[in-house]
Amino acid sequence: MSNPLTTYTGLPPFSAIRPEHVEAAVDELIAHNRAKIAEVLASGGPYTYDNLVAVLDEAEDRLDRAFDPASHLNAVVNNEALRKAYNACLPKLSDFATEIGQNRDLFNAYVQLKNTGYERLDTAQRKVIDNALRDFRLSGIDLPKDQQQRFAEIQSRLAEITSQYSDNVLDATNAWHKHVTDVAQLQGLPESALAQARQAAQQRGLEGFVLTLDFPSYYAVITYADDRALREELYTAYCTRASDQGPHAGQFDNSALMNEILALRHEEAQLLGYANFAELSLATKMAESSDQVLGFLRDLGRKALPAARREFDELKAFAKSTCGIEDFRSWDASYVGEKLQQAKYSISQEELRPYFPAPKVLAGMFEVAKRLFGVSVRERNDVELWHPDAKYFDVLDAQGEVIAGFYVDLYARQNKRGGAWMDDCLARWRRRDGSLQRPVAYLVCNFTPPVGDDPALLTHDEVTTMFHEFGHGLHHMLTRVDARGVSGISGVAWDAVELPSQFMENWCWEPEALALIAGHYQTGAPLPDDMLKKMLAAKNFQSAMMMVRQIEFSVFDMRLHREFVPGRGVDIQKVLDEVRDEVAVMKPPAFNRFQHGFSHIFAGGYAAGYYSYKWAEVLSADAFSRFEEEGIFSAKAGADFRAAILERGGSEEAMDLFRRFRGREPSVDALLRHSGIEVA
């Protein structure tokens, strides 16, 4: 029987994919790719881009087309059989990637191409060659055999345990729920949250309400529940997930995994001649050193801390005077913050929900992209999906030609990984036969799902998240680069990859754009002027506190990866406590285990790179300031951003592309201004 993962063309056949297909497809295609590399090298050259890079691109694309749908399904409809199949493939894929990176003959073939045919290549192709030679060195091509073997073992083990870390967070999230039968205990929760909790209970065959640690449920309680003990209970369960603390203490504990991950990363860095993993991580980023990154973060922290302290003092004073809370604690912060925002601006996320039905937001977001970049979006109903919530859209250029596509899966549910992300389904590239593979993206969020016959009603924060992920998607989908290794987000420096996503968030605050994305779900009425004014006035509410929190995460990440000492390790909790002493305004309780669920750095691509959010935010704020100068729907500025940033992918250095768009180096001033932070 044929395996759909090795035989399909076009879009993935999700309904035909079974767990037993995954490992078989990966085994078959690794063997095929290994043979293809041997065949290419057997020719002995002379090597050209077409007979070396493009041939291997075709083989790599087949492997990606087999594994990527399985990886996606593991994230959005996780089950035990699929997880087992997915995890079985990770060491194999890691070992094969390391094998390629340590293939001396293949390295020599790239060197020959660099030395003989390089000048005849276009800009993108040259960047592919340069990146490949860099990555060979970062894979240990220059190491002696015994050290190469150890490097391979490290990569394989890291693939295994970072996935286990992520599984533990998901399992800990799914393992906890609270059944509530007395609605009085849920006083303060908006009707939308009550309806969702009631629906969650019905899905479990229970009467009353069920609260979970899926973010929409957790957020509703921590922000609106008048019952302080209930807020504390959910806060405790949420911030101790996968740790040695809390209601499932030790059951899904990531403690040992975190230490092993840091130790292996440090060993990997030292094998490659770097002082620590932080310096190794920066070898492929815009930033030049960990000193530069920490200097950037601490400078930003110094500028934001005075305002953050004022915001926190105001919060505590309001908690005492209005909410009767003398001993202000972490589980009070969102609740009191919501009350304070209401008192100051007479506006709340819940009041805005009816004006942001998901279908209207999607349609408005697509119209924003059309006005900025000249592309239109059209839903398709003939594409296989993995869940009834998912949708598929084509992206068309100004001539009506389909140039890309994307899937959307917006709502939280059981067995779906938390958070929001964009991932690539298919990369754009031109094959050797001249045919063009169009890019396709996955856009995944965990918003409050629809209840009954009403559409999902989003908070403005969720709207902003949707625009953020769509920005990543546009970066992937609007590329014009034909070279696979630097097309879309491939090859983009990690500290620049957030530029388009954070850039797109700005339109969620512009009245002209809000007129497109907001409309009452029952009447279609636009967002009332008074609500709009209040929302805009509240834009920078606690923005300095939020900024220092992001700086806290970033400094913690960088210090962890630069301060690890062989034989002694690093005291993760101690580092986090020290960072909080330096930059935080609100100290969490001792049982808080934020680090045990910090998947960005322990299971994602942000290790020694979480600072990228703030780094890229400087770029995005400065880029948007051009639209403030020329008009937020300036066709010229939009076309220039598309041409300089979105279309070029990773084919040129990120700073060169930014300068091309902005005409100068980036400045931090726009970010501080947009955040409402005045610096003396």
pLDDT tens digits for 434-451? 999 999 999 999 999 998
Task: Find how far residue 82's CA is from the centre of its chain.
Answer: 22
Count of CB atoms situated within 10 Å of the CB of 580: 20
In a domain, 496, yes or no: yes
Per-residue pLDDT at 680 exceeds 80: no
Per-residue pLDDT at 1 exceeds 80: no
Q: Which residues contact 539 (CB under 8 A, 6 or more apart)?
A: 509, 676
In a domain, 639, yes or no: no
Summarize the confidence of residues 167-173 as an average pLDDT: 97
Quote the percentage of the chain above a pLDDT of 70. Answer: 100
How far apart are the C-alpha atoms of 344 and 358, rounded to whole Å?
28
Residues 190 and 121 in one domain: no
Summarize the confidence of residues 513-519 as an average pLDDT: 98
Q: Out of 268, 469, 505, 552, pick the active-site residue.
A: 469
DSSP percent split of the chain into helix, strand, coil, nearest 5: 60, 10, 30
What are residue 357's phi and psi, to 5 degrees?
A: -65, 140
Summarize the confidence of residues 164-180 as an average pLDDT: 97
In a domain, 56, yes or no: yes
Per DSSP (E only), the strands in 412-459 are 421-426, 429-430, 436-437, 440-447
- Mean pLDDT over all residues of the chain? 96
Nearest-5° angle of CA 482, CA 484, CA 485?
125
Summarize the confidence of residues 378-398 as an average pLDDT: 97
Per-residue pLDDT at 667 exceeds 90: no
Q: What is the pLDDT of residues 539-556, one digit of tens each?
A: 999 999 999 999 999 999
Using left for φ > 0, alpha for ψ between -120 and 50, and beta otherwise, residue 377 falls in beta
Nearest-5° angle of CA 553, CA 556, CA 558?
110
Summarize the confidence of residues 253-258 as an average pLDDT: 98
Helix (H) or strand (E) holding 404: strand 402-411
Residues 283 and 380 in one domain: no
In a domain, 15, yes or no: yes
Residues 186 and 210 in one domain: yes
b (16+ CB within 10 A) / e for 287-301: beebeebbebbeebb
What are residue 594's phi and psi, to 5 degrees?
A: -50, -45
How far apart are the C-alpha atoms of 342 and 336, rounded to whole Å?
10
Q: How far is CA 231 from CA 228, 336, 450, in A?
A: 5, 12, 24
Residues 508 and 425 in one domain: yes
Domain membership of residue 357 as a residue range: 353-520
At 490, is the pLDDT very low, low, confident or very high (cuts 50, 70, 90)?
A: very high
Per-residue model confidence (pLDDT) at position 567: 87
Per-residue model confidence (pLDDT) at position 25: 98
Tokens standing for residue 645: 């940033």
Q: Could you give the number of structural domains in the chain? A: 4
Residues 385 and 480 in one domain: yes
Q: Please state the pTM of the whole predicted model.
A: 0.93
Q: What is the pLDDT of residues 610-665, one digit of tens each?
A: 999 999 999 999 999 999 999 999 999 999 999 999 999 999 999 999 999 999 99
Per-residue pLDDT at 337 exceeds 90: yes
Terminal alpha carbon distance of the chain:
71
Per-residue pLDDT at 362 exceeds 70: yes
Per-residue model confidence (pLDDT) at position 678: 81
Residues 306 and 271 in one domain: yes
Last residue of a domain, which of 138, 162, 191?
138
Last residue of a domain, which of 92, 123, 138?
138
- CA-based nearest residue to 22, from 77, 73, 56: 73
Domain CATH code at residue 122: 1.20.1050.40
Domain CATH code at residue 574: 1.10.1370.10
Summarize the confidence of residues 269-285 as an average pLDDT: 97
How far apart are the C-alpha atoms of 331 and 279, rounded to whole Å?
37
Q: What is the pLDDT of residues 453-484, one digit of tens each?
A: 999 999 999 999 999 999 999 999 999 999 99
At 162, is the pLDDT very low, low, confident or very high (cuts 50, 70, 90)?
A: very high
In a domain, 220, yes or no: yes
Per-residue model confidence (pLDDT) at position 328: 97
Residues 340 and 358 in one domain: no
In a domain, 52, yes or no: yes
Last residue of a domain, which of 567, 594, 610?
610
At 21, is the pLDDT very low, low, confident or very high (cuts 50, 70, 90)?
A: very high
Helical residues (DSSP H) of 538-646, grouped into ranges = 543-563, 572-583, 599-602, 612-630, 635-641
Question: Any catalytic annotation for residue 469?
Answer: yes
How far apart are the C-alpha atoms of 413 and 418, rounded to whole Å?
9
Residues 374 and 488 in one domain: yes
In a domain, 663, yes or no: no
Residues 432 and 513 in one domain: yes
Summarize the confidence of residues 357-380 as an average pLDDT: 98
Per-residue pLDDT at 376 exceeds 70: yes
In a domain, 433, yes or no: yes
Per-residue model confidence (pLDDT) at position 650: 97
CB 127 within 8 A of CB 61: no
Residues 369 and 308 in one domain: no
Domain CATH code at residue 426: 1.10.1370.40
Lowest mean pLDDT among 19-23, 43-47, 131-135: 43-47
Per-residue model confidence (pLDDT) at position 53: 97
Residues 400 and 507 in one domain: yes
User: DSSP class of residue 292?
Assistant: H
Summarize the confidence of residues 311-332 as an average pLDDT: 97
Summarize the confidence of residues 75-102 as an average pLDDT: 96
Residues 19 and 57 in one domain: yes
